[in-house]
Structure 1
Amino acid sequence: MSEITLDEVKKVGRNGLWDMNPVLVQLLGLCPLLAVSGTAVNGLGMGLATTLVLTLSGATVSLVRNAIPEEVRLPTFVILIASFVTAVDLLMNAYFHDLHKVLGLFVPLIVTNCTLLGRAEAFASKNPVPLATWDGFMMGMGFTGVLLVLGMIRELLGNGTLFSGAGNMFGPAWAWMETTVIPDYGSFLLMILPPGAFLVLGFLLALKNIVNAKVEERREAQPTEAPAAPEIKPEAT
């Protein structure tokens, strides 16, 4: 087994969070993204559930990749992913029942998220377990980050609050997260409804493109170092 370098670890992490972000670049998993991102708590809950499935499925696919015949590779990946989704669904129903009721059908539908099968086929089936596990985790973190930001913006503009219902969803210990940012705020219905999700996602995509363009401009503007002149040794007399 080839040794995993620090550069590979950094590249996988950057791909998951930015360069190959499942939502902002690959545009995958948009159905649950737009459906459950009405509040920050809902987005965070769905994101963490997806991250757990991505991490476990990536590690398992990498572990058994050499034992799976080529003819049944994809069906096997789907069965593994579905098994982890079922386990996560049951755990959420048992320990985070209120959150599970709000997310509803979208928790078992994680199995249809193209990000999971895509990473299993494109990365986990070709790389060692530690790197595949790290890739699944960072892809999940990228997905969770977008869900969280989207939920925060929609909740803030829609209701004037942040992390509303955190105490009910995750338990009383998380009630401190509930914040009323704009007191006596009415409601901005557009942000709460699905069209608001499309609008906010569009702005996030535009912002990422702007940041990428600025970074590329700075990179091109940096002067390239001239190659050092060869040292001329005096001829021996």
Structure 2
Amino acid sequence: MNRNAIHPYAKIARDGIWTHNPGLVQLLGLCPLLATSNTLVNGLALGLATLLVLTMSNTLVALIRPVVTAEIRIPVYVIVIASLVTVVELLMNAYFNALYMILGIFLPIITTNCIIIGRAEAYASKNSVPRAAFDGLMMGLGFTLALVLLGGLRELLAQGTLGDGLHLLLGERFKGMHLTLIPAYQGLLLAALPPGAFIGLGLLIAGKNWIDARYSARPATAATAAAAPAR
């Protein structure tokens, strides 16, 4: 047995969160990613909703794949996803109404999110239920991570805070509870506007690519040092 082999579930986790991150690498779901990431809380809320739908849809697609023919698979997947999105919408409207109103149209269009349909077609329809469910969870976590990082960056630059509006997600006990990292900050308006979302996403992608480049250069440097003749 190859000790260097990666466990299948570890590979799924690494691919979803980092290597093939839906938002930072595959650049899928950019419309909600850019539009709702003006604060950390808004990004986290949409990310969790997407994660829930993605995990459940992958699970259901893997369950029904033996009885769904190739000719009707895409319409069936869309019906499954739309049903799950409707459930999530109703729950958010009932228990998180303020966030439901803020996220607006970007909740129902989770149905057409390329990440969810793509994972249903490319992975869930070809793998077992446990792996499909875990893939949905990890891809959802990766997308949520991108939303939280972008939302946090934009909120910090626009308001000098992190976690403003936390009570919308966690209840009235958390009203007014947030981190003020830059006191008496006048704010950078650009960060709160749509161009700021594109610039922020570009910075996050550049940062990830820089980390990947540094990490991939380490083995090459170590191998070169080992091959160098001793003096």
Shift of 1:175: 3.8
Aligned to 2:13: 13
Does the Cα contact within 8 Å between 1:161 and 1:182 map onto a contact in 2?
A: yes
CA-to-partner distance for each residue in 1:181-237, whole Å, 9 max, x for gaps?
2222122110000100100100111111111111111122333999xxxxxxxxxxx
Q: What is aligned with 1:104?
A: 104
What is the correspondence of 1:20-169 to structure 2 with a 5 Å cutoff? Answer: 20-169=20-169
Give the aligned residue type for 2:15. N
Separation of aligned partners in 2, 1:222 and 1:62: 43
Q: CA deviation at 1:101?
A: 0.7
SS at the partner of 1:26? coil
Describe the superposition over 1:66-88 as per-residue Cα deviations: whole angstroms up to 9, x where unpaired.
11011101111111111101110
Please report how far the alpha carbon of residue 6 of structure 1 lies from its aligned counterpart in structure 2 after TM superposition.
7.3
- Whether the 8 Å CA contact 2:47–2:140 is kept in 1: the answer is yes
Structure 1 ranges of 4+ moved more than 4 A: none
Question: TM-score, structure 2 length as denominator?
Answer: 0.92
1:36–1:43 contact (8 Å) kept in structure 2: yes
Gaps of 5+ in 2: none
1:121 is displaced (CA, Å) by 0.4
Aligned-residue Cα RMSD (Å) equals 1.7
Paired residues of 2:13 and 2:138 also in contact (CA < 8 A): yes
Q: Distance in 1 between matches of 2:66 and 2:203?
A: 43
The amino acid of 1:153's aligned partner reads: L
C-alpha distance in structure 2 between counterparts of 1:77 and 1:204, whole Å: 32
Whether the 8 Å contact between 1:82 and 1:111 is mirrored in structure 2 is yes
Offset, 1:178: 1.5
CA contact (8 A) 2:164 2:176 kept: no
User: Separation in 1 of the partners of 2:176 and 2:130?
Assistant: 35
CA contact (8 A) 1:163 1:177 kept: yes
Q: Quick one: percent identity of the two aligned structures?
A: 53
* Paired letter, 2:74: L
Residues 17-69 of structure 1: per-residue CA shift (max 9 Å, x gap): 01110011110000001000000000000000000000000000001111101
Larger Rg: 1
Distance in 2, Cα, partners of 1:143 & 1:15: 12
Secondary structure, aligned partner of 2:139: helix
Larger displacement relative to structure 2 (204-213 or 13-22): 204-213
Question: Partner of 1:216: helix, strand, or coil?
Answer: helix
How far apart are the structure 1 equivalents of 2:12 and 2:105?
31
Aligned residues: 222
TM-score, length-scaled by structure 1? 0.89
Quote the offset at 1:11 in angstroms: 0.3
Q: Which amino acid aligns with 2:126?
A: K
Q: Which runs of 5+ in 1 are unaligned?
A: 227-237
